[in-house]
Amino acid sequence: MMLNNGLKIYASDVILAAQRLAHIKSDNAFPYQDCVTYLNDAWQDIYGRLENIDPGFFSKVVRVTRDLTKLPSDLRNVVCVFTAPQLAGTNRHALRSSGTGDMAAPGTYHISGNELYVPDARNRTTWLEYVPNCPYIFYTLYNRNPIVKDETRPVYKTAYGVYTLTCFSGDIAVEFSADDVREQLLHSTKIILRHNSGNAHFDRDITQLVKCYEDSAEEGTWQLCYISCDWPYIFITLVNELSNEYRCFFLNASGEHTDYRPFAYNGRPGMLEYVETGWNDNNGLGVTVLDHSTNSYFQLGWTPDTLISYPAPEVSRLLIAKLAARFAALNESELTSTQMELAAATYSFEAYADKNKAGAKRIENVNPATIADFL
């Protein structure tokens, strides 16, 4: 699908295309962890190449409001520090990097460790342009060939580190051991993480994080129908009372939201409801879902399928070719066709890079940077 001179494709599409190019007949010929590693190795090579061509391909701009401030946690490389009344429609005055002897001089900035010192930030509007770390890419295991399971009763886990998940329907706590848990959750009004010490001061109200979609009389109300904990994640499913649309997502310990749409590659949002949830970095498995469109139960990977926005088709072609060459080598089948495609894709990418230094777009990642960051 072409979008604004670029294209968007899911990580599972890349894996599948690379395996087909390498003549790998089984979709699960290699371990999940290896596939994720190889995919990210290939993407980071391309990301670094594009960054070297023009940092503006992936750069972000943030406001610097104090003379001494911490650098963004996702910073990979500083492009420039500049002053300007606003980002658009005004000239930018680039500041120079100072040495230890002129750190206080106007028109300078200094970076030491993870701190940025800009004297001009006291009285001038200052901005930092930087290249963020390469976003980590995931795909959902078995989303192309899901494992069918027998009908399964929902499993709820309430232990969450030093907290216990407690949902309230009015003033009454939801009884997770009851037979009508789902019905109780549909009428829940408050979701609390209660601190195990009993000190209410440490309790966390996560109602707004869980019920994060806007309700309206026209579009319907989003109701909670599943919630379960597996530290550091909370897995959630909401259902719309009018459209019967289901939305699955999970929260990490920082409250960051990650949508779970394993079948989005086919252009449909899916009608999935979590039934049993957990995470496993080793094999990628972890969740069982009920697909309401087919009334089937599937076992799938717990990680989302990353949507990647490429700057141009030449970039996606190279990513697939590099990954295919890796798969072919691991399969001990150095295919001429794979090597020819890698050479052709590399030539095409370099030609694109030489003539177009302003056409790239950022990767769109549906989850935080790395699994390690979640932990």
Rounded to 5°, angle at Cα 292 from 286 and 296:
60
Cα distances (Å, whole numbers) of residue 30 to 16, 24, 322: 12, 10, 16
What integer is the mean pLDDT of 162-188?
94
Question: What local confidence, expressed as pLDDT, does residue 55 receive?
Answer: 73
Question: What local confidence, expressed as pLDDT, does residue 356 receive?
Answer: 59
3-state helix, strand, coil in the chain (%, to 5): 25, 30, 45
pLDDT beyond 60 at 265 = yes
Average pLDDT, the chain: 89
Minimum mean pLDDT among 134-138, 220-224, 316-320: which range?
Answer: 134-138
CB-count burial class (<10 Å; 0-12, 13-18, 19+) for 340: exposed
In percent, the amount of the chain with pLDDT more than 90 equals 70
What integer is the mean pLDDT of 327-339?
83
pLDDT beyond 60 at 155 = yes
Residue with tokens 């139960």: 297
Question: What local confidence, expressed as pLDDT, does residue 212 receive?
Answer: 94
Question: What local confidence, expressed as pLDDT, does residue 341 receive?
Answer: 94
Minimum mean pLDDT among 27-36, 50-59, 114-123: which range?
Answer: 50-59
The edge-to-edge listing of strands for the beta sheet with 6-10 is 2-3, 6-10, 307-310
| Strand ranges in 56-189 using DSSP code E only, listed in sequence order | 60-64, 68-70, 75-83, 93-94, 96-97, 108-112, 115-117, 126-132, 147-149, 159-160, 163-169, 172-173
Banded model confidence at residue 375, pLDDT cuts 50, 70, 90: very low
pLDDT tens by residue, 6-30 = 468 899 999 999 999 999 887 778 8
Q: Which residue has the higher pLDDT, 329 or 366?
A: 329
Q: What is the pTM of this model?
A: 0.83
What integer is the mean pLDDT of 186-191?
95
User: Does the N-terminal peptide bond of residue 135 adopt cis geometry, omega within 30 degrees of 0?
Assistant: no
Gap between the Cα atoms of 211 and 216, Å rounded: 13
DSSP one-letter code for 357: S
Q: Which residue has the higher pLDDT, 362 or 347?
A: 347
| Strand ranges in 217-279 using DSSP code E only, listed in sequence order | 222-230, 233-240, 246-251, 257-259, 272-276
**Three-state DSSP class for 354?**
helix
Gap between the Cα atoms of 341 and 324, Å rounded: 9
Strand partners of residue 69? 116
In percent, the amount of the chain with pLDDT more than 70 equals 92
Q: Which residue has the higher pLDDT, 49 or 276?
A: 276
Question: What local confidence, expressed as pLDDT, does residue 323 receive?
Answer: 95
Strands 96-97 and 93-94: unpaired
pLDDT beyond 70 at 370 = no
Banded model confidence at residue 357, pLDDT cuts 50, 70, 90: low
pLDDT tens by residue, 63-104 = 999 999 999 999 999 999 999 999 888 899 999 999 888 888
Question: What local confidence, expressed as pLDDT, does residue 85 receive?
Answer: 93
Contact 321, 335 (CB under 8 A): no
Banded model confidence at residue 1, pLDDT cuts 50, 70, 90: very low
Banded model confidence at residue 263, pLDDT cuts 50, 70, 90: very high
pLDDT beyond 90 at 166 = yes
